[in-house]
Amino acid sequence: MERVKFRGSIVAIVTPFKEGKVDEKSFKKLIEFQLKEGSDGIVPCGTTGESATLSFEEHERVIEITIEAVRGKIPVIAGTGSNSTQEAIMLTKHAKKAGADASLQVSPYYNRPTQKGLYEHFKAIAEAVDIPIILYNIASRTGVNIEPETMAKLANDCKNIIGVKEASGSLDQMSRIKALCPPDFLLISGDDSLTLPILSIGGVGVISVVANIVPGDVKKMVAYFEKGELKKAQALHYKLLPLIKAMFIETNPIPVKTAMGLLGMCEAGLRLPLTSMLPENLEKLKKVLREYGLLKE
């Protein structure tokens, strides 16, 4: 199972909407922008892509468009997780058939399974679909943490479970994952603000929200670290930090989509229950975009 290609700056891409429907034309332009800026991978239908409010048909179409538009230039890691094991298998089978390079599997949300339940869920998907699987651990959204011991058991028992997007916010937990899992198990940052610290403990990259608008800077920061140019990596980390923080002043992807609308990248439309930003938060976002040099006004 080739793992080396799943590394670096991987964008968790937004799904643009126009008049309530997926805006395929804008979406293809966003993918071209990511390719031009040198992103190392792309995740369609993740949290940032509003997967929770895409129909099955839209979900599958967004993955198909991504694979077509990328043209094999960078890996496509399709978000195909669900809180229903059978739905996750169905979506993952489609992604494999469409030509995705890997699947991102969020831990089941709302159900609050036990660690045994999490193990059986991911094992069932791994056995049903022969595709590299990256787990997605984000207890703040799902209500359940995948414990490092559970991850290690999955990594040892399922050859195609190759890594984790870690958004627990705990470097202690991430260090335990590195200690317990096989040496080639991929630790990928799920928090933009923690990318540099995670690289320092053996992480291989980030699945990034802020890379939707500044993919080149995220890519450079990871590349500087990999080349041992730590001062340059640190400088970019601190440059990016205010922008990263602005991406989370309201629930993701509200701020990043709003920023993309302000920057003319795509329409800022969201699907309920997500709504447009509060006026005071919009002003904060504009201020940060201006200070970064992105918004000229």
Q: Which residues are known to be catalytic?
A: 136, 165
State the amino acid at position 22 in one-letter form.
Answer: V
CA distances from 275 to 74, 157, 268 (A): 32, 42, 10
Judged on CB neighbours under 10 Å (0-12, 13-18, 19+), 187 is buried
Q: Using alpha carbons, select from 121, 11, 141, 127 the residue that is nearest to residue 69.
A: 11
**Rounded CA gap, 164 and 186, in Å?**
6
The pair of structure tokens assigned to 80 is 């195909």
Q: Using alpha carbons, select from 48, 56, 45, 112 the residue that is nearest to residue 86.
A: 56
Q: Are the C-beta atoms of 156 and 122 separated by less than 8 Å?
A: no
Q: Using alpha carbons, select from 109, 104, 100 the residue that is nearest to residue 125.
A: 104
**Rounded CA gap, 26 and 10, in Å?**
19
3-state secondary structure of 258: helix
State the amino acid at position 178 in one-letter form.
Answer: K
Q: To which H or E segment does residue 283 belong?
A: helix 279-292
Q: Using alpha carbons, select from 247, 218, 264 the residue that is nearest to residue 26.
A: 264
Q: What residues does 207 pair with on adjacent strands?
A: 10
